[in-house]
């Protein structure tokens, strides 16, 4: 059985959702702490939030398994994306709030981490790279849109309340300037959500690694504050369709603008 879901579209746009998985292998769940079993740090409901992508003609990719098993948006060597700031690694040992994920003595060793990398991380990245290559062959370029969400209040990771919409372009290095400007203009033109460009979240490993505008791959990341579309306070972290509807309309407008502004 595949460890990810890939749906191919006919537009030069791939929406990657690397933290949307909610499954855990049967042998891992008993090793996690009780609170870790709630999967609080999941990018909850992101496939549903972007469910319009198929009708739009975009490709979509997301994993079946939780980021607590392995974080697909981290470098394969586990190096830090934000040196000097709190974060989590390739196979995280703690939640965003610092609480341990594992029961005492149940943490993965180096051999297990390597096994997870080969079994889960590599297939996702092969699929991602393969789909980008297909889009480039068909269209001459590809747009990679990294779709993420996070609780609006995580004191260990950032001060105060996070902006509703956090666009990241590796400080302008992962996409053509025209796309960055077009996306920023869409966010700035609306008044329902607070927004920032290349603020606390400038883009994770996928955005930075695959974004090669000189080679025809333009990558952007959008980190959304979860209070904008769901109940972020406590399990079961319910999706709030009425609250999400205007955000979905904005996201669709954003993606359509990126397609219209693409240098290709």
pLDDT at 71 over 90: yes
Say whether 242 sits in a helix, a strand or coil. helix
| Range 93-110 average pLDDT | 96
**How would residue 109 be classed by pLDDT, with cut points 50, 70 and 90?**
very high
Between CA 261 and CA 253 the distance in angstroms is: 12
79 vs 122, residue with greater confidence:
122
pLDDT at 80 over 80: no
Task: With residue 203 as reference, give the H or E element that holds it.
Answer: none
Taking alpha carbons only, the member of 5, 11, 52 closest to residue 247 is 52
| Range 53-66 average pLDDT | 97
| pLDDT for residue 232 | 97
Which region among 75-79, 118-122, 221-225, 252-256 has the lowest average model confidence (pLDDT)?
75-79
The CATH number given to whatever domain includes residue 21 is 3.40.630.40
Q: How far from each other are the two terminal CA atoms of the chain, in whole angstroms? A: 36
Asked whether the beta carbons of 108 and 78 are under 8 A apart, the reply is: no
**How would residue 84 be classed by pLDDT, with cut points 50, 70 and 90?**
low
Helix-helix angle 177-189:241-261, to 10 degrees: 150
Distance of CA 210 to the CA centre of its chain: 14
Asked whether the beta carbons of 24 and 64 are under 8 A apart, the reply is: no
**How would residue 79 be classed by pLDDT, with cut points 50, 70 and 90?**
confident
Between CA 151 and CA 102 the distance in angstroms is: 21
The residue written with tokens 């096994």 in the block is 115
| pLDDT for residue 86 | 64
pLDDT at 215 over 80: yes
Distance of CA 125 to the CA centre of its chain: 13
Structural domain harbouring 51: 4-261
Asked whether the beta carbons of 154 and 96 are under 8 A apart, the reply is: yes
Distances (CA, A) of 3 to 55, 57, 143: 24, 23, 23
Distances (CA, A) of 20 to 48, 52, 58, 198: 10, 16, 17, 22
| pLDDT for residue 264 | 62
Asked whether the beta carbons of 129 and 135 are under 8 A apart, the reply is: no
Angle at 164 between CA 45 and CA 155, to 5 degrees: 90
The residue written with tokens 């077009």 in the block is 182
Between CA 10 and CA 59 the distance in angstroms is: 7
pLDDT at 17 over 70: yes
Between CA 159 and CA 156 the distance in angstroms is: 8
Number of domains in the chain: 1
| Range 6-30 average pLDDT | 97
206 vs 263, residue with greater confidence:
206
Taking alpha carbons only, the member of 91, 67, 75 closest to residue 17 is 67
Each residue's pLDDT tens digit, 134-192: 999 999 999 999 999 999 999 999 999 999 999 999 999 999 999 999 999 999 999 99
Asked whether the beta carbons of 232 and 45 are under 8 A apart, the reply is: no
Between CA 132 and CA 221 the distance in angstroms is: 16
| Range 98-112 average pLDDT | 97
| Range 76-87 average pLDDT | 77
């Amino acid at each position: 059985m595949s460890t990810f879901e890939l749906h191919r579209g006919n537009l030069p746009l791939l929406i990657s959702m690397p933290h949307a998985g909610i499954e855990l292998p049967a042998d891992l769940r008993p090793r996690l702490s009780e609170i870790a079993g709630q999967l609080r740090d999941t990018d909850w409901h992101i496939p549903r939030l972007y469910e319009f992508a198929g009708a739009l003609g975009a490709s979509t990719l997301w994993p079946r398994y939780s980021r607590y098993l392995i974080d697909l948006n981290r470098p394969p060597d586990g190096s830090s994306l934000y040196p000097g700031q709190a974060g989590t690694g390739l196979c995280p040992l703690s939640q965003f709030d610092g609480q341990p994920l594992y029961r005492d003595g149940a943490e993965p060793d180096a051999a297990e981490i390597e096994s997870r990398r080969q079994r889960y991380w590599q297939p996702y990245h092969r699929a991602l790279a393969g789909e980008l290559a297909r889009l480039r062959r068909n269209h001459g370029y590809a747009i990679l849109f990294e779709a993420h969400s996070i609780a609006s209040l995580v004191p260990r990771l950032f001060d105060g309340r996070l902006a509703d919409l956090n666009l990241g372009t590796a400080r302008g290095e992962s996409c053509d300037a025209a796309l960055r400007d077009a996306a920023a203009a869409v966010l700035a033109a609306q008044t329902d959500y607070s927004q920032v460009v290349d603020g606390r979240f400038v883009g994770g490993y996928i955005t930075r690694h695959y974004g090669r505008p000189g080679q025809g791959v333009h990558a952007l990341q959008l980190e959304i504050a979860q209070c904008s579309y769901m109940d972020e306070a406590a399990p079961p972290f319910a999706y709030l369709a009425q609250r999400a509807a205007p955000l979905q309309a904005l996201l669709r407008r954003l993606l359509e603008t990126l397609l219209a502004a693409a240098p290709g």
